[in-house]
Structure 1
Amino acid sequence: MNATFKSYASYAGDGSYPDSYYAASRNIIRVPKVLEGDVSADVAVLGAGYSGLSTAIHLAELGYKVVVVEGAGVGWGASGRNGGQIVNGLNASLDTIRRRYGDAAGAFVGGLVQEGGKIIRRIVSQYGIECDMKQGNIYAAYTPAHMKELEHKKALWKSYGMDDHQLLDKEAIRKLVNTDAYVGGMLDTTGGHMHPLNLVLGEAKAFETLGGVIYEQSPVTRVEHDAERPVIHTARGRVMAKIAVLCGNAYLGHVVPKLVSRVMPVSTQMMATEPLGEERARSLIPSDMCVEDVRYILDYFRLSADNRLIFGGGTVYGGTDPADVRAKLRPNMEKVFPSMKGVKIDYAWSGNFALSFSRVPQMGRIGKNTYFAHGYSGHGVTGSHLFGRILSETIHGDASRFDQFEKLPWIPFPGGRMFRAQYSTVGSWWYQFKDAFGL
C-alpha cells in the first residue's frame, strides 16, 4: 500500500474495501495506478463511482481524452456497497417536484426518471459486464395509507407516460414476497437489481477499453475550479484539463468548500446472511425481485446470486456508523421473515450516501469549466448514471437538460455544518413516529 495514500486518505482508512459481501465476491481485482507528476486531459473526473464513470464512459465514447482520479479504489464508496437495486425515480416524488417547482419541472423530471436504468442495461450489455442483473422491483406497503400512496404514485407516473406498474393486494404480493408483513404493494417491471460493486468495476474496465485512464489511491487535496483550465491536485501529482467534473458525493469532504453546505453524509447499513440454498431462498422471495417498503426510514432487501438474503435499512445522519449493524438490522429482517430468526449473518457493513435537504439531486457548475453532481439522497444507482449522461451532453455542447437541473433551487441544511445532523435527526423522529403508527 502506498504510504502517501495512507497519510492523505483518512476518510478511506488504508484504502481497503469494507468487509462486505460485495467486496468478498467481486469478480475483478484491480492493480491500482497512483497519480504521480503532471497529467493533461480534455476532461478530468474526480471520483470513480457511478456518477464519475458514467460521465467518463459517455465522454470516452464521444472521443474525449478522459482521466478519472479516485482517492481510494473504484467503487469504494456508495457505488460499491449499496443495496444493488435499480429503482426508478428520485428520492423526492414527482408530486413534490411538481408542487415545489411547477408543472414544467414535473414534466421534465417525469420524462427521464426511467432513463438511468436503461443506461445501466445498455452499458452492461454493450461491454459484457457480469453483475448478476435481474429484473423487477417491488414497493411494499405496511398500511392502507401506504397503499393509497402507491395508488397515487401509479396514476401520477402513468400521467407522465410510464405505464409499467401493477398494484398488488395482500394475496398478490404474498406470491412475490412470502411474508404476512405487507398489506399490498406495487410492482415495477422496469426496475431490477444487480451486484453493485461488480457493476462499477465492470464500468471501470469498459472505460479503460475506450482509452480512459483511472488513477486510484490518489486522494484529491484541492481543486482549482475558478481557473480557465481547472486543475485537480493530489499528494503526488495533478491533472490539468479543459474541463473538470466533481463526483465525490458523500466522500468529497471539505476538498471543495463551495459544495460542503449543499449535502450531508448519511450512513445506511446492510448485511448478508449465509448462503440459504436455492429452495430456502426462493421460499422467501419466490419472484427473485428486489423489495423496498415505502416508509420514511425504510428497509430494502433482495437475494444474491448465491442465494443469500441481503437486507439493508436504517439511517444515521452525519455519516457515522452504528456500533452493531447486525443488532440494528436483525429485528427488522426477522419481522419481515420470521423464519430467518437466528440465521447466521456472514457480512455486515455500512456506508454513506449524500443527502440534499430537498431530496432532489443537484447538478451545477462552479467556475467556468468545473461541473458537479451529487445529492442523490439514497436513490443514486439510476440517478448517477443519468446525471453522467447529462454531464457528458453538456460538455459535448448540449446543455439543455443540464440547465433544467441547474436552475432548480437548492436549500442549505438548517443549523449549518455544525448542527445539520442534529437538526435532521430531530426532523426524522416525526417521520419515524408516523411509520410506527401507520400514519
Structure 2
Amino acid sequence: MTTQQHTASYYAASANDTRQRPSLAGDATADICVIGAGFTGLSSALHLAEQGFSVIVLEASRIGFGASGRNGGQIVHSYSRDMDFIEQHYGQDTANAMGAMAFEGGRIIRDFVKRYSIQCDLKDGGIFAACTSAQLDEMASKKRLWEKHGHEQLEMLDASSIRQHIGSDRYTGGLLDKSGGHFHPLNLVLGEAAALESLGGVIYEDSKVVRVEQGAQVRLHTEHGCVSAAHVVVAGNAYLGGLIPQLAQKSMPCGSQVLATEPLSQAVQQALLPQDQCVEDCNYLLDYYRLSGDGRLIYGGGVTYGAREPGKIEQLIRPNMVKTFPELAGVKVDFAWTGNFLLTLMRLPQFGRIGNNIYYAQGYSGHGIASSHLAGRLICDAIRGQSERFDVFAGLPQYSFPGGRLLRVPLTAMGAWYYSLRDRLGV
C-alpha cells in the first residue's frame, strides 16, 4: 500500500497535527460512512456525530489532502454564481431559498472554531477589489443584491478608502465584507477531524474506496477492508476520481496555484495589508491574497484545466504578485504549490442522492470553503429526515460537460482564454 503525503505547501509545513491515522483493516460498521476527509466530509461527519450517529470517515490519503488543505484560506460568501443568476435561470423561489443559506457557511466555520477551540489563525474581514470602474459598479450591485438577501455587513470602498486596506495602486475601489475572513485551512480541517474524534468518530487514512455496493446497507470496499453503513456521504470532490462515474461526467477538476513568501517585517505587512484582511480581485481569472499568521504573504491565482500540474508555479504567480505589490520584487518565496478544485458547467454546486441512502455534494467551482460547511449541515439534516433545504440544491439541473471527457478541457480552456482577454482589456 502506497502512503501519500501532503503536498509541500506552507500549510503542511505549519500543521498543528502531524499524526497519521491508521488505514482500514478488516470489516467495520457504522450508521454513516463518509468518503473523503475534507471540508464537505468532515462538516457532514461532525454535524452527524453531534446528533448521535456513529460515523466512519474513509480518506484515500491524508486528512485535508485535497483542496480543503491547499486553498487560499478565505471565507467568501454566496456561490460561484450569485443569486441574480440563480433567479434568472431557476426562478425567484429558488433564489430566495439559496439566498437565505448563502451566508450560513461562514457562521458554521466560526462556530466550529469557537466550540472546539480550533487554532487556525482565524481573522475577520475580506475585500473584493475592483480593477476597473465597471467592476466597481458590479460590486455596488453585489452589495444591493446581498443586502436584499439579508446580509448587512458590507461597505463600499472608493479609490481613496481602499488604500486604507490595501497598499496597492491597482484598484479603483472595492467592497468590504466585514463578515468575511481568512484562516489556515489545513489547521481548520485537522481541528474538525480532532473534534469528530472527540465525539467518537473514526477516521481511516490511506483507505481509498475502490468499490461501492449499494443496498439497504451500503458496503464500501477498500484494499484491505470493508465498511457497512446505513447511509453514505460521497465527499471526494476533485479527488474522487472515477469511483462513481455519473458524478465524474458532470464535473471537471481544475488547478489553482498558490505561493507563500518568506516572513515579512511588521512594517512591510502594515504597508501591504494594514487591516490584515484578505483580498480577491474581481477579474474572471482572479488573484487572491492575505497574510498568514506568521506574517507571510500568501498569494494565489491562475487556473489549469483537467487537473494538470503546472511546471513552475512561482513563475506563473510571482508576476501578478509584483504587479500588485512592486516592493516585493526581490522577496524570497519559501513555498509554491498547486491544488485542484471541481468545476461544474453551471458553476453551481451539485447536491443529490444515489438511491435512497447515498448522498453527495461536489463542484463548488472555486467557492467551496463556506459552501462545503453548509453542505455538511444540509446532508446531516437530510439524513435525519429534514431534507427541504438540501432538496433546494438537489433540485438544480446537473449537466454533463459537452463532448464528454475528451472535449470538456479544451472547450472550457477556450472560455477561460476569452475571459482572460477581457480581464487584460479591462472590459
Q: TM-score, normalised by structure 1?
A: 0.96
Q: Distance in 2 between matches of 1:208 and 1:247?
A: 18
Distance 1:332 1:321 in 2: 19
Q: Which residue does 2:238 correspond to in 1? A: 250
Alignment of structure 1 residues 339-354 onto 2, 5 Å: 339-354=327-342
Q: 2:253: which partner in 1?
A: 265
1:314-366: per-residue Cα shift (whole Å, max 9, x none)?
A: 00010111110000000000000000002100000000001111010011001
- Quick one: which of 143, 157, 162 aligns to 1:154? 143
Separation in 1 of the partners of 2:82 and 2:42? 26
User: Contact 2:253/2:343 (CA < 8 Å) preserved in 1?
Assistant: yes
In the aligned structure 2, how far is the partner of 1:163 from the partner of 1:415? 43
1:31 to partner: Cα distance: 2.4
The within-5 A match list for 1:6-85 is: 6=2, 14-85=3-74
Distance in 1 of aligned mates of 2:330 and 2:211? 48
1:359-387 CA-partner distances (Å, limit 9, x unpaired): 10011001221010000111110000000
Match of 1:386 among 374, 377, 383: 374
Corresponding residue to 1:202 among 180, 183, 191: 191
Map Cα deviations across residues 199-238 of structure 1 (whole Å, 9 max, x no partner).
Answer: 00000000000000000011111212x3221111100001
Aligned-residue offset at 1:404: 1.1
Deviation at 1:138, TM superposition (A): 0.2
Quote the Cα distance in structure 2 between the aligned partners of 1:45 and 1:327.
38
Give ranges in structure 1 of 5+ residues lacking alignment. 7-13
* Residue 186 (structure 1) aligns with: 175
SS in 2 for 1:45: strand
Matches of 2:84 and 2:282, distance apart in 1:
15
Deviates more, 1:180-189 or 1:414-423: 414-423
Matched to 1:250, the amino acid is A
What's the counterpart of residue 417 of structure 2?
Answer: 429
Residue pairs, 1:121-136, within 5 angstroms: 121-136=110-125
User: What residue identity is the alignment partner of 1:237?
Assistant: G
Between the aligned partners of 1:31 and 1:337, the Cα distance in structure 2 is 39
Q: What CA deviation, in whole Å up to 9, does each residue of 1:50-91 have, x standing for no partner?
A: 000000000000000000000001001000000000111111
Residue aligned with 2:422, SS: helix
**Which of the numbers 397, 410, 413 marks the counterpart of 2:401?**
413
Structure-1 residue corresponding to 2:343: 355
Alignment-mate amino acid for residue 209 of structure 2: V
1:331 and 2:322 are equivalent in the alignment: no
Separation in 2, partners of 1:216, 1:223: 18
Q: 2:91 maps to which residue? A: 102
Matched, 1:398 2:380: no
* 1:285-300 matched pairs, under 5 angstroms: 285-300=273-288
2: CA distance, partners of 1:31 / 1:403: 36
Deviates more, 1:134-143 or 1:27-36: 27-36
The residue matched to 1:220 in structure 2 has which SS? coil
Q: 1:211 aligns with which of 182, 196, 200?
A: 200
Tell me whether 60-69 or 409-418 shows the greater mean CA deviation: 409-418
Alpha-carbon distance, 1:397 to partner? 1.2
Amino acid at match of 1:70: E
> How many Å separate the matches in 2 of 1:285 and 1:336?
12
8 Å contact from structure 2 (residues 220, 227) kept in 1: yes
Helix, strand or coil for the counterpart of 2:249? helix
Q: Which amino acid aligns with 2:172?
A: V
How far 1:29 sits from its partner (Å)?
1.3
Match of 1:222 among 207, 211, 232: 211
CA contact (8 A) 2:238 2:341 kept: yes
Whole-Å separation in 1 of the counterparts to 2:83 and 2:147: 12
Contact 2:20 2:205 in 1 (8 A): no
1:100-123, Cα deviation, whole Å (9 max, x unpaired): 101111111111111000000001
Aligned to 2:337, the other structure's residue is in SS state: strand
In the TM superposition, residue 288 of structure 1 has moved relative to its aligned partner by 0.2
The one-letter code sitting in structure 1 at the alignment partner of 2:194 is K
Distance 1:289 1:403 in 2: 35
Aligned CA RMSD, in angstroms, stands at 0.8
Alignment partners' CA distance in 2, 1:244 and 1:272? 37
Q: 1:369 aligns with which of 333, 343, 357?
A: 357
Residues 240-269 of structure 1: CA distance to partner in whole angstroms, max 9, x if unpaired?
000001000000000111211111000000
What amino acid does structure 2 have at the position aligned with 1:200?
Answer: V
Partners in 2 of 1:63 and 1:357 — Cα distance?
A: 37
SS at match of 1:271: strand
The equivalent residue for 1:279 is 267
Q: Distance in 2 between matches of 1:373 and 1:229?
A: 20
Structure 1 outlier segments of 4+, above 2 Å: none
Alignment length (residue pairs): 427
In 2, the alpha carbon distance for the partners of 1:31 and 1:349 equals 22
Paired residue secondary structure (1:322): coil
Return 5+ residue gaps in structure 2 as ranges.
none
Partner SS for 2:257: strand
CA contact (8 A) 2:98 2:392 kept: no
